[in-house]
Amino acid sequence: MDLVFNAKIAALESDAQGAVCGVRMADGRVVPAGLVVVGIGVTANDQLAQAAGLAYERGIVVDTCGRTSDAHIVAAGDCTARRLDDGSLLRLESVQNATEQGKSAAAALMGQPRAFTATPWFWSDQYDRKLQMADLSSGADQWVVRGDLQASLASAGFTVFHYR
């Protein structure tokens, strides 16, 4: 697998039949492709929340215990935006967030509220690569790379530390 960083896509190339045959980068390089998968982010479906009259802001607004603006309704996972102590909203799409929020939401339903405040973490297996992330990097203004980013793609791993 090749990872291409700092690259902008200028266009998708198509053959005479109109089928995609490559991806053209802004620097003119063309990557041949028979199939292109585009990842452009997601928007949570707010239909049910709107119908129930729940507070909604990029997701169903919940507190750290999974409670919505309606005392009888809890929510967990990708559909939520969690209100943090500083008033900001945190929207996370990860397995850890969904499972831990689910536990908090269930506890709240049982009348035993238990806040979910754990440090976010994320993992993903991409073919022969394993990506792991601890905590959030937004707001960082310094990056330190341990290991050689380019060499590591072909060999061992690398670590990036984010600082502010």
Ligand X SMILES: Cc1cc2nc3c(=O)[nH]c(=O)nc-3n(C[C@H](O)[C@H](O)[C@H](O)COP(=O)(O)OP(=O)(O)OC[C@H]3O[C@@H](n4cnc5c(N)ncnc54)[C@H](O)[C@@H]3O)c2cc1C
- By the criterion CB under 6 A, which residues form the site for ligand X? 48, 77-78, 93-95, 98, 122-124
- Tokens 């896509």, located at residue: 9
The answer to whether 79 touches 92, Cβ cutoff 8 Å, is no
Decide whether 69 or 94 has the Cβ nearer to ligand X. Answer: 94
> Which 3 state secondary structure label does DSSP give 87?
coil
Give least dist CB 78 to ligand X, A: 4
Sign for the CA dihedral angle at 69, 73, 76, 78 comes to: negative
Q: How far apart are CA 59 and CA 79, in angstroms?
A: 5
Sequence-distant (6+) residues with CB within 8 A of 104 are: 64, 65, 66, 76, 113, 114, 115, 116
Give least dist CB 68 to ligand X, A: 14
Give least dist CB 15 to ligand X, A: 28
Residue 97, judged by CB atoms within 10 A of its CB (0-12, 13-18, 19+), counts as buried
Q: How far apart are CA 157 and CA 159, in angstroms?
A: 7
Decide whether 14 or 137 has the Cβ nearer to ligand X. Answer: 137
Decide whether 70 or 93 has the Cβ nearer to ligand X. Answer: 93
Give least dist CB 16 to ligand X, A: 32
In the bound complex, which residue of the shown chain has the CB atom lying closest to ligand X? Answer: 77
Decide whether 24 or 91 has the Cβ nearer to ligand X. Answer: 91
Give least dist CB 26 to ligand X, A: 26
Decide whether 23 or 62 has the Cβ nearer to ligand X. Answer: 62
